[in-house]
Every structure is written in C-alpha cells, then in structure tokens.
C-alpha cells in the first residue's frame, strides 16, 4: 500500500505491486477501505483483456476524448458508419469469465420463465450488473430486474431543450477519463442555484434528463471510452465539489431530487459507479452527510470517498 503526501491522508492509493489496479488476481482484502467497508472490485474486472503492447495502449488525445464525452450522439453515428471489426467487438464485449457466463445463462433461463423478458434487454452486461448488485442471488436479482423492466415502460424518448440554461445554474458534465479510461463526471454542487434551476426546468424534467444521460452513458459513452482505452469500460468515476454546501442547502425540493436520482441509480442502473469523490467537504456538509448516508445502500457507500480538505480534481482522475 502506498499513500500520497500527508494532505491527502484520507484517500488511500493502492499501487497493486506495480500492476493494474483493476487486476482480478489481487487479494480482495488488499482493496482500499472507505469508512471501514471494503471497496468492491470494479465491474471491469469481469471483462479484462490481455495487456496491450505499450504502443497500442497509448491514450487518445484530449480533443478526441472531449468529443467522446460531450457529443455522444455524433460518436454513435460514427460507429454506425464504421461498423464493428472483430477487434472492436472483442473490446466492446470484453472477455467473459466462464463462471459469469454460467450464472448469467441461469439468470436468463429464470427470466424467460416469467415470460416478461424482451429481447432488447437480453444483454449480457446488463444482466451481470444486476447479478452483482444482488451478490449473484438469482431470486433477488430477478425481482430487481423485473422491477427495472416495469419502470422502463414509463420512459421513452426525451429532449431536454433547457439544458443550456440549466447548466448555468447547475454546473455539471463529463470531463476526460481516469487512468483506467473510465469517463469522469463532475458536479459543482456548491455552485448550484436551486431557485434558478426550478425556474429553468421542473424536478420531474430534470429527473428524466438524468435518465436520458444514464442511457447515453451506457449505450454511447462506455462503448466510445472502451474503444479509446482498448479495454471494456462499464463504469464512471464521479467527483462532487461540495464547497459551501451545508444543511441549509437540503431544502424540500433538493431532498426530493436527491432521493429520486439516488433511487433510480441504485435500482435501475446498478454497478455503473466506479468511485465517487466528494471533495471540499466543510463542517456544514459533514453534518448533512450524516443525513444523506441514511438514504444510500451499503454497496454504494463503500465506493464513496469524502475529502474534508481542499482537493485537486486531477488527483482523483489520475489515481483512481
């Protein structure tokens, strides 16, 4: 284990003996711990490819990554025109663990018995995410997945025409990738103007916008990042800057919005979070955090780092 210099003492960096931090052969007990709970290995450990030669593994240009993250629909159209080569398909699909394939197949068979299993949702990666969220308990995963299918009936195509205005009062977006090639999502929560946000849009529309962005991330951003990194990418590293946030910010609308998004992400987009860094957490936020934790499941909490002191965004991206 190796730690950064003293001012980052609350964040543990595991060098993994010089190897890749996502290697599935690492001793699980050596994963860094947050709030005395072990961090679950990233979902990408299920799809690791053999190491690439140094030249092939070079990172794409920053301008290319900006296009990938900021304009996912253009990336989708480009992928359609190019088609999929065998190497590209291998990267997008990832290498399946035989044990995973066996339990995913058992899960498929269980869902087919329900006669509620649309072909478009018969996706290996999606099924594996739900299984992981329920610790590979088939019955619990089935219940969760069927609830997800029912929920999806209420969501169709959605256009968030007020996005430009919303971003002025709610700064957020994707910015580059972490060292493993995962997309990095950043929110400046301390700069949110909730009154202006509610004038620009409604909470219901913002929640639908969040769902549409989750869909873009699954269907466009992850595939594009996978191709750029030459490895299967299936999760996001997130950073929340909570400078100045405290109990007074947790108004009734803010509370409802938080709970709705938390419910959606946990129940319908499981295992898409790699790690969440909450940075610049002052005393006010630490009081608020005690309240927020009560609404979050233990598996998600185990992936969250709360950093009290001033913190460098770049540190999160480079080392996690």
- Contacts from 194-200 at CB under 8 Å and sequence distance 24+? 194/169, 194/249, 194/251, 194/253, 194/254, 196/168, 196/169, 197/166, 197/169, 197/170, 198/253, 200/162, 200/165, 200/166, 200/168, 200/169
pLDDT tens digit string along 241-279?
999 999 988 899 999 999 999 999 999 999 999 999 999
* Residue 81 C-beta-side C-alpha neighbours within 13 Å: 6
User: Same domain for 38 and 174?
Assistant: no
Residue 43 confidence class, pLDDT cut points 50, 70, 90: confident
* Of 308 and 168, the one with more pLDDT: 168
Query: How high is the mean pLDDT of the chain?
Result: 79
Residue 86 confidence class, pLDDT cut points 50, 70, 90: confident
Question: Is 139 a residue whose pLDDT tops 80?
Answer: yes
Q: Are strands 236-241 and 183-187 parallel, antiparallel or unpaired?
A: parallel
Number of domains in the chain: 2
Kindly state whether residue 146 falls inside one of the protein's structural domains.
no
Distance, CA of 149 to CA of 214 (rounded, Å) = 15
Kindly state whether residue 228 falls inside one of the protein's structural domains.
yes
Distance, CA of 82 to CA of 281 (rounded, Å) = 45
Radius of gyration over every alpha carbon of the chain, rounded to an integer in angstroms = 20
Distance, CA of 271 to CA of 297 (rounded, Å) = 12
- Please, are residues 182 and 22 in contact by the beta-carbon 8 Å criterion? no
The pLDDT of residue 2: 42
Kindly state whether residue 243 falls inside one of the protein's structural domains.
yes
Q: Are strands 273-279 and 236-241 parallel, antiparallel or unpaired?
A: parallel
- Please, are residues 309 and 281 in contact by the beta-carbon 8 Å criterion? no
- What is the CB neighbour count within 10 angstroms for residue 68? 24
- Please, are residues 251 and 198 in contact by the beta-carbon 8 Å criterion? no
Specify the 3-state DSSP secondary structure of 87: helix
Least confident range of 11-25, 53-67, 141-155, 223-237:
11-25
Kindly state whether residue 49 falls inside one of the protein's structural domains.
no
User: Same domain for 32 and 168?
Assistant: no
Mean pLDDT for 16-38 is 39
Give the structural domain span for 175: 163-319
Mean pLDDT for 186-208 is 95
- Please, are residues 14 and 275 in contact by the beta-carbon 8 Å criterion? no
User: Same domain for 38 and 167?
Assistant: no
Closest to 180 (Cα-Cα) out of 49, 86, 35? 49
Kindly state whether residue 181 falls inside one of the protein's structural domains.
yes
Distance, CA of 67 to CA of 73 (rounded, Å) = 10
Residue 136 confidence class, pLDDT cut points 50, 70, 90: very high
pLDDT tens digit string along 161-193?
999 999 999 999 999 999 999 999 999 999 999
Mean pLDDT for 298-306 is 90
Residue 42 confidence class, pLDDT cut points 50, 70, 90: confident
DSSP state of 35: T
Kindly state whether residue 294 falls inside one of the protein's structural domains.
yes
User: Same domain for 38 and 171?
Assistant: no
The pLDDT of residue 6: 37
Kindly state whether residue 286 falls inside one of the protein's structural domains.
yes
Kindly state whether residue 116 falls inside one of the protein's structural domains.
no
| CATH, residue 221 | 3.40.525.10
């Amino acid at each position: 284990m190796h730690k950064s210099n003293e001012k980052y003492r609350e964040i543990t960096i595991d060098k993994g003996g010089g190897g890749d931090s996502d290697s599935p052969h690492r001793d699980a007990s050596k994963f860094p711990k947050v709030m005395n709970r072990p961090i679950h290995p990233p979902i990408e450990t299920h799809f690791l490819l053999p190491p690439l030669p140094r030249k092939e593994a070079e990172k794409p240009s920053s301008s290319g990554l900006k296009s990938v993250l900021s304009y996912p629909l253009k990336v989708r159209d480009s992928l359609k025109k190019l088609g999929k080569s065998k190497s590209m398909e291998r990267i997008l699909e990832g290498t399946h663990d035989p044990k995973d394939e066996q339990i995913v197949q058992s899960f498929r068979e269980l869902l087919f018995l329900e006669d509620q299993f649309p072909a478009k949702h018969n996706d290996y990666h999606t099924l594996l995410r739900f299984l992981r969220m329920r610790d590979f308990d088939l019955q619990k995963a089935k219940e969760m997945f069927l609830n997800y299918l029912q929920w999806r009936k209420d969501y169709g195509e959605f256009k968030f025409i007020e996005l430009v205005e919303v971003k002025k009062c709610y700064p957020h977006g994707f910015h580059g990738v972490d060292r493993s090639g995962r997309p990095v999502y950043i929110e400046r929560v301390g700069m949110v103007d909730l009154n202006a946000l509610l004038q620009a849009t409604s909470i219901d529309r913002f929640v639908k916008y969040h769902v549409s962005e989750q869909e873009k991330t699954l269907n466009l951003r992850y595939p594009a990042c996978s191709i750029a990194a030459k490895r299967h990418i299936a999760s996001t590293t997130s950073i929340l800057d909570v400078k100045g946030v405290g109990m007074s910010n947790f108004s009734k609308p803010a509370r409802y919005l938080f709970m709705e998004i938390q419910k959606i992400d946990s129940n319908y987009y499981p295992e898409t979070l790699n790690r969440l860094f909450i940075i610049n957490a002052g005393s006010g936020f630490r009081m608020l955090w005690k309240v927020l934790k009560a609404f979050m499941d233990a598996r998600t909490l185990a992936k969250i780092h709360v950093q009290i002191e001033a913190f460098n965004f770049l540190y999160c991206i480079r080392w996690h």
